[in-house]
Chain A
Amino acid sequence: EAQVTQNPRYLITVTGKKLTVTCSQNMNHEYMSWYRQDPGLGLRQIYYSMNVEVTDKGDVPEGYKVSRKEKRNFPLILESPSPNQTSLYFCASSQIPGRQETQYFGPGTRLLVL
């Protein structure tokens, strides 16, 4: 089944404790992206990647890192999480880099930073 998976689905952590949220897709998509969703703000793009070893900042990249060592994986790294990073995070992928391509979304990761 074609899908985007994220792990973990739920995470509670404390300020400053490094964490990684994994994202994997099995559709051989080149484009992958991370978003955060906050009430009243909709989805905001954090980082995106057009291919292996190619990453770019989205609208709200501060406090986040990403890597794209393999085509299928695009982990989101919070080196020193803070409470303002408490949010719902979505990973997405699409077939080729391009703003016209449909993005497929993962189920989301709900993060609480205490």
Chain B
Amino acid sequence: AQSVTQPDIHITVSEGASLELRCNYSYGATPYLFWYVQSPGQGLQLLLKYFSGDTLVQGIKGFEAEFKRSQSSFNLRKPSVHWSDAAEYFCAVGAPGNQFYFGTGTSLTVIP
């Protein structure tokens, strides 16, 4: 069965520091992977997605993610975090039958 694991429930980083949010997936075929961000009280906004090709994908707001098939991972990174990046981040995978599976989310706190 397909699944998505985000091992870090909560992460705290200082403003200006680098960030990496982990995502591991379980999937039998070529995955379609997504990262979404949810600001407090808001809906979900797509940060980036991977379908095929270059394994390093660029997204909005300065985020990037790298697909590593050997590690079944799709970690999200940002070189320098801004206070406005404080939010909850969800990794997701598109599965056969048009279902989508989300991870449980990682809550990011940014301290001055």
Show the binding face of A for B, using Cβ within 8 Å.
31, 33, 35, 40-45, 48, 50, 56, 58-59, 90, 92, 97-108
Contact = CB atoms under 8 A, between A and B. Distances in A.
B83 interface: no
10 contacts: A41-B104, A43-B102, A44-B102, A48-B99, A99-B96, A99-B99, A99-B100, A100-B94, A104-B46, A108-B42
A48 B104 contact: no
- Number of chain B interface residues as a range: 20 to 34
A92 B32 CA distance: 17
B98 A42 contact: no
Nearest to B91: A42
Nearest to B1: A59
A45 B99 CA distance: 7
B51 A45 contact: no
Given A43-B90, A108-B43, A56 B102 contact: no
Given A42-B90, A90-B44, A99-B95, A33 B100 contact: yes
